[in-house]
Amino acid sequence: MSVKRVLASAPAKIILFGEHSVVYGKPAIAAAIDLRTYVRAEFNNTGAIKIEAHDIRTPGLIVSFTEDEIYFESDYGRAAEVLSYVRQAIELVREEAGANGRGVTVSITSQIPVGAGLGSSAAVAVATIGAVSKLLGLELSNEEIGKLGHRVELLVQGASSGIDPTVSAIGGFIHYEKGNFEHLPFMELPIVVGYTGSSGSTKELVAMVRKTREEMPDVVEPILSAMGKVVEKAREVLLSDLDDEVRFARLGRLMNINHGLLDALGVSTKKLSELVYAARTAGALGAKITGAGGGGCMYALAPERQSEVATAITIAGGTPMITRISREGLRIEEVLP
Ligand code: MEV
């Protein structure tokens, strides 16, 4: 069937345990959440790639731009970074489809804040690959699209574990290790995400950890190994038939340990730590950074105290988001024949 236009969407994610150590082959656990990026792809007859973005949420402000003309009221660098993921994604899919000279126009809207550690780049890459591959007649599974998303991240970021595009493409909860994933049983987790309002660059933070590891392997390797052990323990707790009270208390303690280890790697900030401690003081069972750090988001596990924790995060100067885990990953929303 020849297709004229495709609309696809892909979700944001949170890393529950194991960010950064996952880049060095340790396991991690992530979940898709119900904020989505929408990408519409259609042919144009110029042979070129055209990208339009509206409502791309960079910290605090909303940016609209086209490739030639950029209207921005906030961080231009972050907005431009989004373009590089989209461009790489389109080029990769055109190459896979043997359609290099084919003109493609892509239009993006997103509910996911850019640079918040919620996987906006991965979601934009996955939704673009989903929409453009369908447009060009490629039949790819969500898992294959996740792998192409990983290639896009490697091209743009230089280093990436692939967990973000995988969970965005697949959805639900995943345990991820060295490119392989296992779906964990779906469950509602009583979490609150707290946004610091500032952004961190995954590329820079991953490079910073890499440099410290190269300079001090004897110090950094045990931290990364401990993070791997935290993840395996968390997987055991998530798969156990413990009652919720015990299960959440253990997960909370593991989150706090994981936060301490991330702090030791140098990816926390004063604001992130303030939000983490505010959440714990307000009754969260655990709280930690989620994603690359350096700004961005933390999350707290707060059964029965979500509202108090959200208030504490606000008082500490953050923006709370009570969000739900999304079962669904990449979704083709509409195909116009
Ligand atoms: C970013 O969401 C997670 C990192 O571990 C980078 C990666 O896994 O590619 C910091």
Tell me the average pLDDT of the chain. Answer: 91
Residues 82-88: what's their mean pLDDT? 86
Which residue owns the Cα nearest ligand 1 atom 2? 291
Q: Which of 169, 184, 199 is the last residue of a domain?
A: 184
On whether residue 332 sits in a domain, the answer given is: no
299 and 154 in one domain? no
**Residues tagged in the binding site annotation for ATP:** 113-123
For the domain that residue 80 is a member of, what is the CATH number? 3.30.230.10
Sign for the pseudo-dihedral over CA of 71, 107, 78, 57? positive
CA distances in angstroms from 246 to 228, 252, 330, listed in the order given: 22, 10, 33
Minimum CA distance residue for ligand 1 atom 10 = 292
Residue of higher predicted confidence among 83 and 336: 336
SS3 16: strand
From 221, 230, 316, 270, select the one nearest 19 (Cα to Cα). 230
Instruction: Count up the domains in the chain and report the number.
Output: 2
Q: Mean per-residue pLDDT for 65-91?
A: 66
Q: What is the mean pLDDT of residues 147-175?
A: 95
- Residue 61: predicted pLDDT: 42
pLDDT per residue as tens digits for the range 260-272: 999 999 999 999 9
Residue 160 CA: nearest ligand 1 atom is 9
- Per-residue pLDDT, 64: 46
Residues 130 and 221 in one domain: no
The verdict on 96 and 227 lying in the same domain is: no
| Catalytic residue chosen out of the listed positions 34, 55, 164, 263 | 164
Give the tens place of pLDDT for each residue, 23-50: 999 999 999 999 999 999 999 998 888 8
pLDDT per position as a tens digit, 53-71: 776 665 544 444 444 444 4
Whose C-alpha lies nearest to ligand 1, atom 8? 161
- The arithmetic mean of pLDDT across residues 78-102, rounded, is 88
Q: Which residue has the tokens 């231009």?
A: 76
Indicate whether 195 and 180 sit together in one domain: no
- Would the CB of 42 count as within 6 Å of ligand 1? no
Burial class (CB within 10 angstroms; exposed 0-12, middle 13-18, buried 19+) of 309 = buried
- The fraction of the chain above a pLDDT of 70, given in percent, is 92
Same domain for 160 and 13 = yes
- Please check whether residue 335 lies inside any domain of the structure: no
Domain that holds residue 270: 191-321
328 is a domain residue = no
> What are the C-alpha distances in Å from 186 to residues 14, 20, 150, 277, 326?
15, 24, 24, 28, 9
Query: Minimum mean pLDDT among 2-11, 50-59, 226-235, 326-335: which range?
Result: 50-59
Q: What is the mean pLDDT of residues 208-224?
A: 98
Do 167 and 224 lie in a common domain?
no
Do residue 104 and residue 18 come from a single domain?
yes
Q: Is there a domain that residue 106 lies in?
A: yes
Both tokens of 300, joined, read 């707290």
* AA identity, residue 99: A
